[in-house]
Amino acid sequence: MLHQIEGSKAMARTIALCRPQVVCAYPITPQTHIVEGVGELIRVGELDDCEFINVESEFAALSVAIGASAAGARAYTATASQGLLFMAEAVYNAAGLGLPIVMTLGNRAIGAPINIWNDHSDAMALRESGWIQLFAESNQEAADLHIVAFRLAEELSVPTMVCVDGFILTHAVERIDVPDQAAVDAFLPPYEPMQSLDPADPISIGAMVGPDAFTEVRYLQYFKQHTALTLIEKLAAEFEQRFGRQAGGLLRTYEAEGAETLIVAMGSINGTIKDVIDEMRADGIAIGLVTLVAFRPFPADALREALARARDVVVIDRAIDVGMGGPLASNIAIALRELPDPPAMHSAIVGLGGRPTSKASLHRLFRQAAIQPWEGPHFLDLNERVVARELHRRGKTRRVGPAAEGILKELEKERVEKLAERTS
Amino acid sequence: MNEVQKLKFYQKGTLTVGNRLIDERERNVQASLDRSNSLTSGHRACQGCGEALGARYAIDAAMRASERNLIAVNATGCLEVFTTPYPETSWQIPWMHSLFGNAAAVATGVAAAMRVLGRAETRVVAQGGDGGTTDIGFGCLSGMFERNDDVLYICYDNEGYMNTGVQRSSATPPAARTATTPAMGKEPGNVFGTGKFTPKIAVAHEIPYVATASVADLHDLEAKVTKAMGLRGARYIQINVPCPLGWGAASQDTIKLARLAIETGLYPIFEAENGYITHVRKIRRPTPVAEYLKLQRRFAHLFRDGFEDPRVAKLQAMADRHIKDYGLLEEAA
């Protein structure tokens, strides 16, 4: 049924339709509305047989979910940014134990400097934790991906993270189709755990494993993620057949046919990129898009196939690995290097800490890639003047103070100077 | 050393009554043929390990109280390591280890799952050492308490991080030598005025049941676990478990040390319900702290060259304060 509804509320309703049995809540912007929404549905009795637990930290949130999942209940929680890092130890633990917990990540930057707005730093920070990571492009997909995520997680017994851009998706009100209970029930059977704590059949979970078996345990995790590549495609097809719309899959292409330049991006920025591609195509430029949904497992084969015939590939990273560059670009580079005649890859760091990405900036970026390619990561819309002034100031004295303060002061100076120019 | 140990029979009414001399109904869980052996033999604890003994009695008592319908969650630590070196396990009950600092929260999750799956009769115990409980797991512990989650948390307090090589925890007593509070410098050993007594903090949460116990009084330990299992909501039992390795004590002195910890007043044994202390175990034979300290190499620096360090008096003052605060001595007739 169609609703004019906030993304978080739509996700909450959809999550409730997945019949989670234990939901752990700890507030952190921008995911809070999701667990609030689930909590309301439990209070009013729309979601029965569900324990809603207000915990004292994100570390506890995921730990409670770990206990619940190991005891045979379908467990769900949500977090973002600092919260994900605070629970990092438990994130790895859930994966190592093979517990099919589903967690929404309201993607947000990581401090310092503290910043509540959207980028993908949080998801990227834990990309090696062993969770499946799926990125939603729209709020419809954000809601739908949860149904897929529970099914995927439980079939493989691997925890799954649904990555949803903070504010841009979580707080946007738009038209979203929330499916009915019968349809979700038909797609998602009740949770049948692969292992559970049961006095009738006592087992030890979480034993100490030494060098004799650790490699094999990790290999099984690797193998399961590899299996997920096939299962994600299968579930996407089944979802489309049952619900009549696309959600999930490894990746999707847009105007990729005959494209000389292909953009690769994850999350909500794909919408803006599609608009830019439409305009550039109208100008006769052969450009297209590959929207990556599954970041973990990383669909290297599918990406190679999608990108093989392009001349240039522009990778949009919503995060920065400061000692390396764009994490998505690093991964794509690995996928491309096996092609006999790989396209030229251009890495762009875009929209950090919630900086809006304009179509104009993307137009410039995409055109520049073909005409005047750059080396290393390109920071889109970087205020080079302010950076240069701050670097100059830093070169003069040792006791420069915090970087954030310095940049903010330079920005203020720039603003005052511009004002003076205008009034003189 | 083939000499056969001579059996010692104690008469009823003395401090250590042999089970065979008391009525069958009063005998402890361990003495019964149908004990569950939850923590069975073959594990890798050190000789004289107080924690292994405490855990065996506590969990078997919890098993009996729950009619063998029990799930245990374990924090990282000695108990976890010596019982479950893969592919072996000494646990004959459903048992789970997740992390060092989250046992209370994982147990909350297990209890929630039992409720929602309609199996609320399955009871949940969380257990950990003092490091996993009073330090790294303290946030999760307090959260579990304040939500009054249906979990019995048992802390085996051996007063330090023994699994990692005897470092100081917030339960390490003042003056004790550990790897991170060496017996060197102006103030050798652990610093006075630091540390915390978590049972008091548990009482402040006004949870249904808090108790301290000791491996020197296993009847009392079993009775407390049984009582705790008869209640719902958050419950906390902290058991004093001497560690021969960490304390630098002879392995046959584990029970003796645990008893001296009680009899000196250093380890008050009490029960509290809903925020109020309801019962205190009186000291039977008041003993000066020096008698307890001298048996442990972690305090050896207090007694060098026949000289008693003035800090022994400070430890005695601590014990005296416990005796006064908790009313540990029998009133004079």
Q: Check which CATH number belongs to the domain holding B301 and give it.
A: 3.40.50.970
Single out the residue of A273, A223, A219, A228 nearest to residue A248, CA to CA.
A228
In a domain, B18, yes or no: no
> Which site among B82, B108, B115, B142 would you substitute to test the A interface, given the most A Cβ atoms closer than 10 Å to its Cβ?
B108
In a domain, B288, yes or no: yes
Which residue of A lies nearest to B77 if distances are taken between CA atoms? A208
Which residue of B lies nearest to A72 if distances are taken between CA atoms? B113
Assigned CATH topology for domain A2-243: Rossmann fold (3.40.50)
Single out the residue of B128, B102, B84, B59 nearest to residue A203, CA to CA.
B84
Mean pLDDT of B260-287: 97
Does residue B201 have a pLDDT over 90? yes
| pLDDT tens-digit map of A241-256 | 999 999 999 999 999 9
In a domain, B23, yes or no: no
Separation between Cα atoms, residue A157 and residue A161, nearest integer Å? 13
Instruction: Provide the 3-class DSSP secondary structure of residue B239.
Output: strand
Residues of chain B positioned with their CB less than 8 A from the CB of A56? 139-140, 142-143, 146
Separation between Cα atoms, residue B37 and residue B63, nearest integer Å? 9
Please give the helix or strand (H or E) that residue A344 lies within, else none: strand A344-349
Does residue B15 have a pLDDT over 60? no
CA distances from A99 to A66, A225, A251 (A): 7, 14, 25
State the pLDDT at residue B87.
86
Q: pLDDT confidence of B1, banded at 50, 70, 90?
A: very low
Residues of chain B positioned with their CB less than 8 A from the CB of A203? 94-95
Residues of chain B positioned with their CB less than 8 A from the CB of A63? 98-99, 102, 105-106, 108-109, 140
Q: Which residue has the tokens 């105007």?
A: A255
If you write DSSP's letter for every residue of A217-243 in order, what string do you get?
HHHHHHHHHHHHHHHHHHHHHHHHHHH
- Name the minimum distance, in Å, from the CA of B78 to any CA of chain A: 11
| pLDDT tens-digit map of B145-173 | 999 999 999 999 999 999 999 999 999 99
Write the residue in B73, B86, B113 that is nearest to A72 by C-beta: B113
Which residue of A lies nearest to B70 if distances are taken between CA atoms? A199
With CB atoms and an 8 Å threshold, state whether A206 touches B97.
yes
Q: In chain B, which residues touch A (CB < 8 A)?
A: 68-71, 73-74, 80-81, 84-87, 89, 91-99, 101-102, 105-117, 122, 139-140, 142-143, 146-147
Contact by Cβ (8 Å): B133, B199: no
Query: In total, how many domains does chain B have?
Result: 1
Backbone φ, ψ for residue B25 (5° rounding) = -70, -25
The amino acid occupying position A272 is: T
State the pLDDT at residue A379.
98
ipTM of the prediction greater than 0.85, yes or no:
yes
With CB atoms and an 8 Å threshold, state whether A66 touches B102.
yes
With CB atoms and an 8 Å threshold, state whether B113 touches A22.
yes
Single out the residue of B67, B77, B68, B72 nearest to residue B134, CA to CA.
B77
In a domain, B310, yes or no: yes
Write the residue in B71, B84, B147 that is nearest to A197 by C-beta: B71
Q: Could you tell me the sign of the dihedral formed by the alpha carbons of A241, A242, A245, A250, in that order?
A: negative
Write the residue in A49, A53, A70 that is nearest to B96 by C-beta: A70
- Between strands A204-205 and A132-135, the pairing is unpaired
CA distances from A112 to A115, A209, B198 (A): 8, 36, 34
- Name the minimum distance, in Å, from the CA of B139 to any CA of chain A: 7
In a domain, B16, yes or no: no
Does residue B13 have a pLDDT over 50? no
In a domain, B20, yes or no: no
State the pLDDT at residue B3.
60
| pLDDT tens-digit map of B127-150 | 999 999 999 999 999 999 999 999
With CB atoms and an 8 Å threshold, state whether A64 touches B108.
yes
With CB atoms and an 8 Å threshold, state whether A208 touches B142.
no
With CB atoms and an 8 Å threshold, state whether A55 touches B105.
yes
Residues of chain B positioned with their CB less than 8 A from the CB of A103? none
> Which site among A53, A55, A197 would you substitute to test the B interface, given the most B Cβ atoms closer than 10 Å to its Cβ?
A197
CATH number of the structural domain A251-379: 3.40.50.920
Instruction: Output the CA angle A93-A99-A103, nearest 5 degrees.
Output: 85
Which residues of chain A have a pLDDT value below 50? none
- Name the minimum distance, in Å, from the CA of A252 to any CA of chain B: 37
With CB atoms and an 8 Å threshold, state whether A67 touches B113.
yes
Does A370 lie at the interface with B, CB-CB under 8 angstroms?
A: no
With CB atoms and an 8 Å threshold, state whether A63 touches B73.
no
CA distances from B102 to A3, A77, A271, B309 (A): 40, 16, 41, 40
Does residue B19 have a pLDDT over 90? no
Domain span including residue B295 = 30-326
> Percent of chain B having pLDDT more than 70?
93
In a domain, B6, yes or no: no
Q: Give first-to-last CA distance, chain B, whole Å.
A: 48
With CB atoms and an 8 Å threshold, state whether B116 touches A49.
yes
